[in-house]
Amino acid sequence: MPPPYRNPHWNNFAAIPHRSAGPVGRPPATWATSHALSGIPSASVPLPTHKLDRSDVRQICRNPANPVLFGFVCAMAWGGMGSGPGRKRSVAAAWKEQVKLSRHLSALRTGGLSRCEAYRLFLDPGDIPGIGPAFFTKLIYFFSSSPDFYILDQWTAKSVNLLTGNRVVKMSGNAVFNGNKCGNYLAYCHEVDEIACLLKVTGEQAEEMMMSKGGHNPWHWRAYMRANWPVNAPSVRYRASLMHSVYAGIPGKPPCTKMGLVCF
């Protein structure tokens, strides 16, 4: 029985082996200076003057010796927050909410939150001006104790929607719609887990594969998404029963070790 994902998108995606994107974004020190951020708490090390990769950022954000706002700067520099015309206002707006931001990030680092609870931290009344799902899920990923709190940006959202053929994540143009609730995030994370299971990679690796890499020479999956969005964007509203019913009851198939669901 074929995987419960939509072709030709699945065949194109599954044929691409995982590889790390490596250092991306901007050096945190440069990023902070360009946005004129003041009052950044000092940490055990100065703000890096080189670009960071995922593991670098998670190590910084998870280290209790580093103030959470120090980690915030590193995470947002990695993610490229504030790039593009007029977007510096978003960084300034978020930085003004340092008290609320620190409270959210400390809760994530402490742990004990479910995926839904982590996502809900940043919804009204806990929302941070200037930070939508594409950026606050980066904070959730980098600060949470478990690496399976996945980043939900425009590229992973487009990927899961194309692959499932359903609107798992609501979009607003090319951006993740701010009105996505924790149910959307849970469904997205579940699909990442299932894709990881099918491809025999970790959830982190599956999410990184879905994000792919852009720039002047985009990787194959990023170029594929650009060519297929929005022309092949699904219009069907996501319902868990559409996808999850096919994961169970297949005789002779081994269970996914993470979810207890069937991989095939």
- How confident is the model over 191-207, as a mean pLDDT? 96
DSSP-H helix ranges across 121-248: 133-143, 154-164, 182-199, 203-211, 220-228, 240-244
Q: How confident is the model at residue 238 (pLDDT cuts 50, 70, 90)?
A: confident
Residue 262, pLDDT > 50, answer no
Mean of the per-residue pLDDT values of the chain: 90
Domain residue ranges of the chain, discontinuous segments joined by +: 9-20+151-247, 28-143
pLDDT at 150: 98
Q: How far apart are CA 207 and CA 195, in angstroms?
A: 9
Q: What is the pLDDT of residues 52-71, one digit of tens each?
A: 999 999 999 999 999 999 99
Tokens of 130: 């200037």
Q: How confident is the model at residue 38 (pLDDT cuts 50, 70, 90)?
A: very high
Q: What is the pLDDT of residues 9-34, one digit of tens each?
A: 999 999 999 999 999 999 999 999 99
Q: Which residue has the higher pLDDT, 226 or 2?
A: 226
Tokens of 139: 């904070």
- Return the closest-CA partner of residue 148 out of 208, 60, 219: 208
Q: Which residue has the higher pLDDT, 1 or 204?
A: 204
Q: How confident is the model at residue 245 (pLDDT cuts 50, 70, 90)?
A: very low
Q: How far apart are CA 17 and CA 52, in angstroms?
A: 22
- How confident is the model over 205-229, as a mean pLDDT? 96
The CA–CA distances, whole Å, from 223 to 33, 113, 134, 139, 168 equal 32, 35, 20, 26, 21
pLDDT at 254: 43
Q: How far apart are CA 152 and CA 133, in angstroms?
A: 7
256: CB partners within 8 A, 6+ apart: 193, 194, 197, 262, 263
Q: How confident is the model at residue 35 (pLDDT cuts 50, 70, 90)?
A: very high
Cα 221 to chain centroid distance, Å, stands at 16
Q: How far apart are CA 108 and CA 58, in angstroms?
A: 12
Percentage of the residues of the chain whose pLDDT score is greater than 90: 83
Residue 263, pLDDT > 60, answer no
Q: How confident is the model at residue 4 (pLDDT cuts 50, 70, 90)?
A: confident
Return the minimum-mean-pLDDT range out of 61-70, 166-175, 238-247. 238-247
pLDDT at 236: 84
- Cβ–Cβ contacts within 10 Å for residue 33, how many? 11
Q: How confident is the model at residue 252 (pLDDT cuts 50, 70, 90)?
A: very low
pLDDT at 44: 81
pLDDT at 237: 80
- Return the closest-CA partner of residue 6 out of 170, 246, 172, 200: 246
HEC readout, 249-261: CCCCCCECCCCCC
End-to-end CA distance of the chain: 7
